[in-house]
Amino acid sequence: MALEPGIDSVQLARTWAALPAAGAWDDDPEEIECAGAEWATIWARYQQGDESSGGGFSIRCDASPYTRDAGLEIVGNQVWGRTVIKQLDLVTFASDSAAWFQREGTITYGATGADAEDILVGLSVFMGAAQRLRIAAREAADGDTDEPGSLELTVVLGSTGGQNRVLGV
């Protein structure tokens, strides 16, 4: 399906609620259908649990190349992969370059105050390859794991309609 340029959907990935105790990860993160999306931006709203101590959250983003059929059964394998960090080499004229990449473990944010904070976490580029996305969250290890804060996650999915693709990819 060809997508028009812009925002295709806005989906709630985690409803406003306290993070699990003791720094544990969410045990069953919401799955977001993202078939055809070329990018995803994550918006977070976080408020630390104990106003007198520092708090923060960590998230872990996983994507799957497999979709669900109309009966919500997984088509293919139950495979989840982490997003990747890529470091480009310098590009020079008439010379090949190299790039380094590795799996991104977690993204962590430390609160700057006691009030709820809205944060634009970042952009993941799928180029239409991911079918499902899930985001697990926890109170950051450097945060207050005894009194975890509350977190809500919203995912904005979009496409360029093929306008920004390089070499027809």
For 124-151, b where at least 16 C-beta lie within 10 A, e where not — what string? bebebebbbbbbbbbbbeebbbebbbbb
Give Cα separations from 19 to 93, 152, 164 (angstroms).
50, 10, 38
| pLDDT tens digits, one per residue of 125-148 | 776 778 888 999 999 988 888 899
The whole-number pLDDT of residue 84 equals 60
The whole-number pLDDT of residue 2 equals 43
The number of beta carbons lying within 10 Å of the beta carbon of residue 10 is 12
Helices (H) and strands (E) in the chain, counts: 0, 11
Give Cα separations from 103 to 63, 81, 85, 97, 98 (angstroms).
12, 9, 6, 21, 17
Is 119 inside a domain boundary? yes
The whole-number pLDDT of residue 121 equals 86
With residue 58 as reference, give the H or E element that holds it.
strand 56-64
Is 169 inside a domain boundary? no
Is 90 inside a domain boundary? no
The whole-number pLDDT of residue 154 equals 95
Overall pTM > 0.85: no
Is 154 inside a domain boundary? yes
The whole-number pLDDT of residue 168 equals 38
Q: What's 123's domain CATH number?
A: 2.60.120.380
Is 15 inside a domain boundary? yes
The whole-number pLDDT of residue 155 equals 93
Which of the 8 DSSP states describes residue 35? T
The whole-number pLDDT of residue 110 equals 92
Task: Name the residue with tokens 């090949």.
Answer: 96
The whole-number pLDDT of residue 81 equals 74
The whole-number pLDDT of residue 17 equals 97
Q: How many domains is the chain partitioned into structurally?
A: 1
Max intra-chain CA distance, the chain = 57
The span from the CA of 159 to the CA of 127, in Å, is: 8
Parent domain of 20: 6-80+97-159
- Taking the chain (169 residues) in runs of 10, the rounded mean pLDDT of each run is 66 96 92 85 92 83 77 65 64 69 78 92 74 92 89 90 46
The span from the CA of 111 to the CA of 51, in Å, is: 10
